[in-house]
Amino acid sequence: MTEQALSGLLVVELGTRLAAAISGNLLMQLGATVVSIETDGDAARYDLKGSHRPVMAAGKLSFAPRAGVIEDERMLAGLIERSDLVLTSSDVDTPLFRKVLEAAKNTIVCDITAFGKVGPLAGEPATEFEIQALTGVSDTTGLADGPPTPILLLIVSYLTGVYSTIGALSALYAREQQGVVQNLDVSLFDCGFISLNTFLASTLTDPMAKKTRLGNRHPTVAPWNTYETSDGWVLICAGNQAQWERLCQTMGRPDLAETYRTQGERIRNIVEIDEAIETWTKTLTTAECVDEMIRAVVACGPIAPVEGYPREENLDHRRMIHELLDPQSGRAVFVPGSPMRLSETPWQAPTQIPARDGSRDAITKLIDQLRPQPARTAPAVLKRPLSGIKVIELGQYTTAPLCAKHLAHLGAEVIKIERPGGDESRTWPPHIDGRSITFRLNNADKRSLTLDLTKEADRGVLRELVCQADVLVENMKPGALTKFGLPPARVLELNPRIVYCSISGFGADSLYPTRPAFDTVIQAMSGFMATLSDSRIPLKTGISSSDTTGGIMAAVAILGALNHRERTGRGQHIDMSMQDVTAWLTQTAWNGSKVKAPAVIECSDGYVFAEDFEGSTEPSSLAKHKLADRLRQEGVKAFPVLSLKEATQLPQSLERKIWFYLHSSGFEWPMLDSPLRLEKTPPTVSHIAPEPNSDAAAILQEHGIAFEPEA
């Protein structure tokens, strides 16, 4: 069998939250042996993994300990004692689980809960929809003239599962490097809140900001929307000036490009612009619109349906769909492939879904073969997990910059290499002192170097940096670095220990190698928009779900590869497709599964979500907090839908300090904290993003590079 990144690692998935199962899935895909602990209490109330068992159990071992049976308790305790990592969800887990956790004295424990261990809501259970409502996620999702929309794909649980995996892999890396064993606190609330960074840029800087739902628009980039065609819908996203000009030329409206020259002007006049675009798209079929946009090299895409699984040719090409027999139902079901393609340690697709409690013999052998985790001695002074790791980022927009930002918070030195003129997102509104707030939220704790890779001298500098780096992460167009003389094979030839992660819309191995792709296009072409809600109109999330999850999934893959490198000395290439990642997010909607949406009730000052509610959903004259209180007194799980401004002022947000301000250059810049609360080696956010090329002299000197820019 091919060696995998986490071969030999034992994970006990004790937690019953969906986010714990998602983290277990990712660790399994990286090669860990994952034992899923199942109970009779697994049900939908708190998004528990039993509700989606076929896709959550595939590839794992299953153990269902019987309450009150001493033999089973001892077996579970022995398993935990030997594990490298335990995933828990203490706010909803059973007393048995809390009891056997005493065996985890030398084991890393990652606790995934609704609100975390700090704050007035610490330890309180909450459903996915309650978290969506309280963080502002719901208030930013839905049509501009409609109510907030519950996201049926349980996006916050997925984000939390991915973030938990980043935290777990960081803790494992710190254990191997520093001998430290620690616990990790990850909350759905934090992960949902920080995912709204594009909205928070204005919410945290403008006291008068009143963000409303944008439908399928983008808060800082325009045009970016779903447009009706003669036979359906098409996504068109002009993410930069060149694409905007080419779109206008294709429509026969060059006057629009002349009239609205900047992002700010386009945002302010988006209604008129959208009307002009839709007047054009309605004259064409969806396929014709896509063809026109492909020729113009403008990001676009149709809406992929989910019929059993997402029906899209590139997903089939990349083998993201697998079919297995479900022993519980006796029928064939579809399960996702891995969105992490690692060249040296490829994922081995699962061959079966285990029967419930069907792995007792295998688990008994594990316990017999493995010794309990030894006690480890940590140094007196601990460093952040990735201290000493050097990351080269060739990133723009969101995915690679977000990935590298989280690596920086965990202690890595990140050198952001920008082309002359800088990352396009430096222009995105809103601004402080002419500088983009969004850019600074996505690029904190980095250093900046400008290189023009069309010039040989600059390419030489990049090669020198690659030779001395641990990680290279980029989201350039597929093949762009190859044109500059750095295909993956050459990068690894220069530095066999480097972990090189390429992030693209459709993957390096793709049916669409030249097509530009932005977040909403990927949401459309992965099946995500088709299954997000019950709306007739396909909807995206207010969260940039494809960008965000693509970036943090890349961090998971990089950390898995770094753990493997420490064991073997070998680096590798990672081919990360945003479409793969986003299709993977839809797995709870596969095989005919459907999550029941809460009722949405309009109030005098907003909306309330009510779960399992059979009463009237007619508009109420009560304020949302009063209606939610009344419904709770009647035994209904109800909660107000908060605006993002309200979410920033919740005592839970303030006490956990998930957002704060950094003072720089005479201004207060909003910052978002890391959602990873590592007990002994916590990540930190220390400085805002640098100005272009501001660290060039120091970087070149530190790396011993003599550089004379070409004229």
Catalytic residues: 547
Which of 413, 574, 400 has its CA nearest to residue 500? 574
User: Is 366 within 8 Å of 10 (Cβ atoms)?
Assistant: yes
The two structure tokens encoding residue 139: 């208030």
Which of 218, 601, 571, 552 has its CA nearest to residue 402? 552
Strands 499-504 and 572-577: parallel
The two structure tokens encoding residue 621: 């004259």
Which of 382, 373, 313 has its CA nearest to residue 81? 373
The two structure tokens encoding residue 143: 């049509």
Please list, residue by residue across 647-684, b when 16 or more beta carbons sit within 10 angstroms of its beta carbon and e when fewer do: bbebebbeebebbeeeeeeeeebbbbbbbbbbeebbbe
Between the alpha carbon of residue 678 and those of residues 68, 166, 409, the distances in Å are: 33, 11, 12
Phi, psi of 350 (to 5 degrees): -65, 145
Environment class of residue 429 by beta-carbon count within 10 Å: exposed (0-12), middle (13-18) or buried (19+)? middle
Residue in the block written with tokens 């986490």: 6
Residue in the block written with tokens 């700010």: 264
Between the alpha carbon of residue 515 and those of residues 161, 220, 224, 282, 378, the distances in Å are: 30, 22, 16, 23, 49
d(CA 524, CA 520): 6
Amino acid at 566: E
Residue 430, preceding bond cis, omega within 30 degrees?
A: yes
Written as one string, the DSSP assignment of 636-695 is -EEEE---HHHHHTSHHHHHHT-EEEEEETTEEEEEE--S-EESSS------PPPPTTTT
